[in-house]
Chains A and B, each alone.
Chain A
Amino acid sequence: MNISRRRLITTGVAAAAGVAGLAAASRIARKHGLVPPDGCSLYGPGETLTYAAQRLLTRHSLAREFPRSMISSVPFANEIAKPTEAFKHHQAAGFSTWRLTVDGMVAHPTAFSLSDLKTLPTHSQITEVVCEEGWSYVAEWIGTPLANVLNQVGVLPQTRYIVYYASEHYLWGSIDMADAMHPQTLLAMGMNDGDLPVKFGGPLRIRVPRQLGYKSLKFLTHITATDSLKHFGKGLGSVDPEYGYSWYAGI
């Protein structure tokens, strides 16, 4: 084997340019918030490419909506944990005691009851629930867009993520502002013309139809606006990466 000096120099220059290019790309991605909170693992490059590409291509796009005739006659209710005593008390009170607390980077932290939420403009959508396992169903979801609630409490301009918790606090997730302010991101209280059944996350569930089902957390009780996810859980953006699942589930 013999490697000419010219080849060595060309290869060296190309490698240096490659490393510099990657460093620059990474800096630009960070500056524009295109690196997901779980973007520092072995799978970080893939996750960052996916999230950045989706944010550049699909920031304002709308999830597919379906005609009423396509609503699944057999929506699949995924497994839920056994209801706690506290949940049973809420249920016995017809969920009149249920509260959605909104705090963090907001001008007016507020605790909303379900009837408070129902006074906000309602919106309904017929969208597909898509599970990471592969199955899916179409249902109508009725509620108020998350954006309405965020505008009501005066979310501060430096907010970058909305963190949300289920009644059992070990279940939590977060979305960026593109998804939080998206017109189809819904605080759902109704499903298929009735109240949202408990097995589908009732009385209150978030629906993020442009992402997989596991981002649409059931039994919503608490929302926090923040500019950084570092101090939530292990800093990976949601409980899902702690179990090995990606934070961004738009794929």
Chain B
Amino acid sequence: MATTSPAPVAVTRRHTVLVRVTHWLTVISFFALLITGAEIVVSHPRFYWGETGNSGTTPLFKIPIPASRDTVPTGYNYVLPDQNGWSRYLHFEAAWVLVLTGLVYVAAGLITAHFRKNLLPTPAARSLRAIREVFAKYLRRAPPGEAESHSYNVVQRIAYLSVIFVLFPFVIWTGLALSPSFDSAMPATVNLLGGRQSARTLHFFVSGLLVIFLVAHVTMISLAGFWSRTRAMITGRVKLPSEHRDSRGELRRE
């Protein structure tokens, strides 16, 4: 049953239900992991390389903040409130949400050819020149073209594929390597990373790369039109730029 409207508004489907639900579940769990991860780091803001490391050994680097435990020699003479308990509970619960969401997303993405159709760069765009053109357009602050309202350009595709297939798997791997029980079943998880403290340091760095992606992602969305892009990720639909002036803007059911 289609709603009748005097002047049909051009509306295209942008994101499938699967993409939208998994996107927002990932957003929620990522923020939970980020905040709790930061709280856990505060209990020992020193990083090491190799198998072991503690307050009596030389760190690879230190984060210049006070710690939430008085056994850590930070030099600040001040101990932050300890938030490790609930942070750890929530970190692991959110990790389950993230991992299960990711598994559903990747499985469905392969079955529905979402990756091949929407994220793999098109053959024409697989060139350095195409990538340079996108960046040149960004630098000129050119408004996004009509094509970009319903499909990703080559730089976006590379960024999204890297996050989905490189950064998230690596942050999950380095996180799992910190589980003493998981390591007992699969010692290679931690040994391949060069030891427990190396795994912890890498976990921290990969999380940093994910934060850089998050900042870039939100910046680009803001430049393209924060509410229209966010609305598209919630409702799944996008109004074409030429119809933006239509104030009635009723969504048409297909």
A-to-B contact residues, CB < 8 Å = 1-2, 4, 41-43, 45-47, 49-50, 54, 57-58, 61-64, 66, 70, 72, 74-76, 78-79, 128, 130-138, 209-212, 243-246, 250-251
Contacts and interface: CB of A to CB of B under 8 A. Distances in A.
A130 B180 contact: yes
A244 B85 CA distance: 5
B54 A62 contact: no
A243 B85 contact: yes
Given A133-B69, A251-B178, A58 B52 contact: no
Contacts, number: 130
B51 A138 contact: yes
A145 to B, nearest CB: 16
A126 B181 CA distance: 16
A136 B51 contact: yes
B47 to A, nearest CB: 8
Interface residues of B, number: 44
A75 B55 CA distance: 9
Nearest to A54: B181
B1 A2 contact: yes
Contact of B180 (A78, A133, A212): A212
A74 B59 CA distance: 13
Given A49-B96, A57-B185, A133-B44, 13 more contacts: A1-B253, A2-B253, A43-B92, A46-B90, A57-B182, A63-B180, A128-B51, A134-B200, A135-B46, A136-B52, A244-B89, A250-B182, A251-B182
A58 B95 CA distance: 19
Nearest to B190: A64
Given A135-B44, A243-B85, A46 B54 contact: no
Contact of A58 (B178, B184, B190): B184
Nearest to B48: A135
A135 to B, nearest CB: 4
B234 to A, nearest CB: 14
A43 B71 contact: no
Nearest to A135: B54
B43 interface: yes
A178 to B, nearest CB: 10
Contacts of B138: none
A58 B197 contact: no
A138 B86 CA distance: 28
24 contacts: A41-B89, A43-B89, A47-B89, A50-B92, A57-B182, A62-B184, A64-B187, A70-B52, A75-B54, A131-B44, A131-B54, A132-B84, A135-B53, A135-B55, A136-B52, A138-B52, A212-B180, A243-B85, A244-B84, A244-B85, A245-B88, A250-B180, A251-B92, A251-B181
10 smallest A-B Cβ distances: which pairs? A244-B85, A46-B93, A250-B181, A135-B54, A76-B54, A251-B179, A43-B89, A74-B56, A134-B44, A61-B185
Contacts of A76: 54-56
Contacts of B77: none
